Amino acid sequence: MVTRVSTPGNYSAVLSNLLAAQQRQMLAGEKVATQKNGSDLKDYARDAEMLTAMRSLKTRLEVYKDQNTFVSERLATQDTALNQVTDAAREARQAIADAIASGRVDTLMEDLQAQFRNAVEGMNARYGGKYVFAGGQVDTRPVSATSMSDLTSGPPIASWFENDQFAATAKVDEATTVKVGVLADDIGADLFTAFQTIQAFHESASGPFNGEMTAAQRTFLEGQLATWDGVREDLVNLTARNGLVQSRVEGVREDLTTRHNQLSGMMGDITDADMAEAVSQLEQAQLAVQSAAHVFSALQESSLLNILR
């Protein structure tokens, strides 16, 4: 049997090879350029279901990581504010001790008033424009008192705290929920009571605190030292609890980062191209295109039409 060879048949075969070679060159070029084995899930047919699941998990991990960043920053703001209030209590106690040691109370009330303002500023701390110790009323300043004299003006201590009782929580991973919220009245109720006691004494017949300390003032102030020690200790404990939550959130964030990196690596094993192989395939595809083009050109030159000319 003799196979019939015709010029149109040869052209068709060579042109088909040339187009196929160009297609392989384009695909190999895309792989080198993108460093990926494909552009969508259909290119990973065998692993498409696994990739879909891994991408879904990766997205959830990224959401938790973003949430943890927000929570960590808020807790850091609370830590700074709680330390400010704690320092105010410590400095107030120190001012009382210094007055007792010197026997004079010339600047005692000014010193205490300064620490009162520092404490109020700490309890009115904000993060992202929202008051962090206000509970659910994040747009309302949680402490409305501005001076120690407010505390003896008639309303009870509780009336100076505008926060509600909503203590925010946050889910930082699939299995961990932490209490983030700290309320202003939990921070400052005992502190304000201690300030109120001194202000009331200052306004009483045994006051004011001015000049040389009287025997009654010394007895009163000495009795206040234990109260202030207790207030400061409670604030230290509250600050420490906030720090423990910070540490826990940071630990979860590190775990999420590790899991995210591992998952990215697993996905990369499927989607990322072997660049040495991809470059080799591109070079082979380019050579195939050049070869097919050369054959096509040679076929044109060997055409019977050219011979007849």
Phi/psi at 178 (nearest 5 deg)? -120, 150
- Other beta carbons within 10 Å of 70: 13
Q: Answer yes or no: is 144 within a domain.
A: yes
Phi/psi at 143 (nearest 5 deg)? -120, 120
Q: Answer yes or no: is 1 within a domain.
A: no
Please give the residue range of the domain that contains residue 302.
276-309
Distance of CA 65 to the CA centre of its chain: 7
161 and 294 share a domain? no
Q: What is the pLDDT of residue 257?
A: 86
45: its two tokens: 């047919």
136 and 79 share a domain? yes
Q: Answer yes or no: is 54 within a domain.
A: yes
The structural domain count of the chain equals 2
Unique residue bearing structure tokens 């591109």: 282
Q: Answer yes or no: is 57 within a domain.
A: yes
Q: What is the pLDDT of residue 58?
A: 83
SS3 at position 118: helix
220 and 284 share a domain? no
Q: Answer yes or no: is 34 within a domain.
A: no
Q: Amino acid letter at 196?
A: Q
* Consecutive 10-residue averages of pLDDT for the chain (309 residues): 51 60 61 55 56 77 88 96 98 98 97 98 96 96 97 96 95 90 97 98 96 97 98 98 95 86 69 54 62 59 55
127 and 191 share a domain? yes
| Start-to-end CA span in the chain (Å) | 32
Q: Answer yes or no: is 217 within a domain.
A: yes
Q: Amino acid letter at 162?
A: E
Q: Answer yes or no: is 30 within a domain.
A: no
Under 8 Å between Cβ of 273 and 35: yes
How far apart are the C-alpha atoms of 177 and 64, rounded to whole Å?
Answer: 11
Q: What is the pLDDT of residue 56?
A: 79
pTM metric for this prediction: 0.73
297 and 206 share a domain? no
306 and 252 share a domain? no
Q: Answer yes or no: is 44 within a domain.
A: no
Under 8 Å between Cβ of 172 and 68: yes
248 and 111 share a domain? yes
